[in-house]
Amino acid sequence: MVHYVSLYIDPGTGGMLFTVLFAIFGVVFFSARAAYDKIKFRISGGKQAKISKEKIPLVIFSDHKRYWTTFEPIVDELEKRQQKTIYFTCSEDDPALSKKYEHITCEYIGEGNKAFAKLNVLNASVVLSTTPSLDVFQWKRSQNVNCYIHIPHAASDITLYRMFGIDHYDAFILSGEYQEKQIRKLEELRDIKPRDIELCGIPYMDEMKKRLENQKSAPEQDQTDHEQPEHERTVLLAPSWGESGILSRFGEKLIDSLIATGYKVIVRPHPQSFTSEKALVDKLMEKYNDTSKITWNRDNDNFDVLNTSDILISDFSGVMFDYALVFDKPILYTKTEEFKKNPYDAFWIDEPLWTFEILPSLGLELNDENADHVKDLIDKCIEDSSFAEGREKARSETWVHIGEGASRSVDFIVKKLDEVKAQIAAEKEATAQAKAKKKKRSKKVKKAEAEASSEKPASASEEKEV
């Protein structure tokens, strides 16, 4: 008689196992792909993956032009300090490429595998990047890079990257203590040696704040140039991407409700939406194409669209904190219980996300029950002055050293460069000493052999002749 055993795996555990298995499959696949590429490069004479003999002191890698705002304040500070740096970008129209620097070289390295082929054999002391998944998929750690530093591109939880996204970085530039605690917890759970962490602030938000202050203090004529035509209120819908994002969850229902308010509506999808959920975005843009009611924004620089709107509607996108903390305006956010942690590092930590804990202090919740009454939510949120106190609390927790982010970040980068320089010097000294000792031992051995040979007893034939 055959007995069947029924096994049950709860949805949460099942989701995690699926994600882990998918990640393992991805690692195996791309490792095989990388091995194939190496063989192909060798057959072709190694022209596509030539390792530079000269070590580059500092490399900044950006996988998309939208992250130039993250790096620009740091690059400007590096230029000021005359620090030789190479900025690699995967965007042919990255604003960095049009900048005129004396000590910074900006270079387009192609997209996808072409870019990774160069990065995977990079010879550099330090690499700074905001791109996750180092050494998980195509982008591998180069054996000729001494230190990889990660800097987030948003003021929110560091665990909102896809699973294992930051495991293989050596150091971090962060902006809040809660982020450091999250990394330490992941290190403990995954048996990762503690990495170097520095709380420096948020350089790009410092620049936005400075830009806003300059605009407010500009002569009246200059301010008029930035003003928009008169309107009652402007609503900005700027969601993240994925199945937990607003466009996937609410889609047409919310957009219809926003248009019905009579307010000016601007929709700014996450850049990744145009790749990962292209069909959905194309469908919405095709249906809602009346510019008198709604406009779609894809500007690389989001400053103007944030500045001219009165309220932001978003989900777990980092733009919420740019909006609330820099522009000091209220937000509507989606119901956090619906957020699925499975694909993210947050799944490993049995604690609430800081992002979702702070949101009630910044604005009102948008959910399935009240989405039809979005106008009432918008009006109430804008007119309630109590959210100003919540914004101040959020600033104190996620935006340390306001106004000093770029200088402190570069201080940390220079510190790591000095450490690498000292490490390389120590290794050279150790190698030189080892060679000297080996040479000295070799001389002693030769001398001993010579002395032994001169003291060798005469042979039998020699003694007979005597």
Local confidence band at 8 (pLDDT 50, 70, 90 cut-offs)? very low
11's tokens: 């949805």
Local confidence band at 24 (pLDDT 50, 70, 90 cut-offs)? low
Residues 396, 249 within the same domain: yes
Please check whether residue 338 lies inside any domain of the structure: yes
Please check whether residue 427 lies inside any domain of the structure: no
Residue 342 has pLDDT above 50, yes or no: yes
Average model confidence (pLDDT) for the chain? 86
Q: Span 287-294, mean pLDDT? A: 92
pLDDT one-digit tens code per residue, 149-206: 999 999 999 999 999 999 999 999 999 999 999 999 999 999 999 999 999 999 999 9
Question: Which pTM was predicted?
Answer: 0.77
Residues 365, 408 within the same domain: no
Residue 268 has pLDDT above 50, yes or no: yes
169's tokens: 């970085």
298 touches 268 (CB < 8 A):
yes
Q: Which residues contact 45 (CB under 8 A, 6 or more apart)?
A: none
Residues 247, 395 within the same domain: yes
Q: Span 297-307, mean pLDDT? A: 89
Q: Which residues pair with 198 in a beta bridge?
A: 173
Q: What is the pLDDT of residue 466?
A: 44
Residues 410, 332 within the same domain: no
Long-range contacts of 205-209 (CB under 8 A, 24+ apart): 205/155, 205/321, 205/322, 205/325, 205/326, 205/399, 205/405, 206/73, 206/402, 206/403, 206/404, 206/405, 206/406, 207/69, 207/72, 207/73, 207/406, 208/303, 208/322, 208/326, 209/326, 209/402, 209/403
CB burial readout 323-348, b (16+ within 10 A) else e: bbbbbebbbbbbbbeebebbbbbbbb
Please check whether residue 445 lies inside any domain of the structure: no
Residue 383 maps to which CATH number?
3.40.50.12580
Residues 304, 392 within the same domain: yes
Residues 253, 384 within the same domain: yes
Q: What is the pLDDT of residue 47?
A: 45
Q: Span 222-250, mean pLDDT? A: 75
Residue 427 has pLDDT above 70, yes or no: yes
Number of domains in the chain: 3
* Range with the poorest average pLDDT among 214-228, 323-337, 424-438: 214-228
Q: What is the pLDDT of residue 323?
A: 95
Please check whether residue 448 lies inside any domain of the structure: no
**How far apart (Å, rounded) are the C-alpha atoms in residues 121 and 47?**
12
Residues 81, 162 within the same domain: yes
pLDDT one-digit tens code per residue, 104-146: 999 999 999 999 999 999 999 999 999 999 999 999 999 999 9
Residues 396, 409 within the same domain: no
Please check whether residue 466 lies inside any domain of the structure: no
* Highest mean pLDDT out of 25-29, 33-37, 50-54: 50-54
What is the C-alpha R_g of the chain?
A: 29
Q: The domain containing residue 41 runs over which residues?
A: 1-45
Local confidence band at 25 (pLDDT 50, 70, 90 cut-offs)? low
Please check whether residue 128 lies inside any domain of the structure: yes
CA 411 to chain centre: 19
Q: Which residues pair with 192 in a beta bridge?
A: none
Residues 247, 180 within the same domain: no
For helices 68-80 and 405-454, angle between their N-to-C axes, nearest 10 degrees: 70
> Which has the higher per-residue pLDDT, 465 or 273?
273
Residues 78, 95 within the same domain: yes
Local confidence band at 221 (pLDDT 50, 70, 90 cut-offs)? low
326's tokens: 């820099």
Q: What percent of the chain has pLDDT over 70?
A: 83
Residue 250 has pLDDT above 50, yes or no: yes
Query: Kind and range of the H or E element at 172?
Result: strand 171-174
Q: What is the pLDDT of residue 44?
A: 40
Q: Which residues contact 343 (CB under 8 A, 6 or more apart)?
A: 19, 162, 163, 242
CB atoms within 10 A of CB 42: 10
**Which of 173, 143, 132, 137 lies closest to 51 in space, CA to CA?**
143
104 touches 85 (CB < 8 A):
yes
Residues 73, 202 within the same domain: yes
Residue 122 maps to which CATH number?
3.40.50.2000
Please check whether residue 271 lies inside any domain of the structure: yes
Residue 357 has pLDDT above 60, yes or no: yes
Please check whether residue 442 lies inside any domain of the structure: no
Residues 16, 85 within the same domain: no
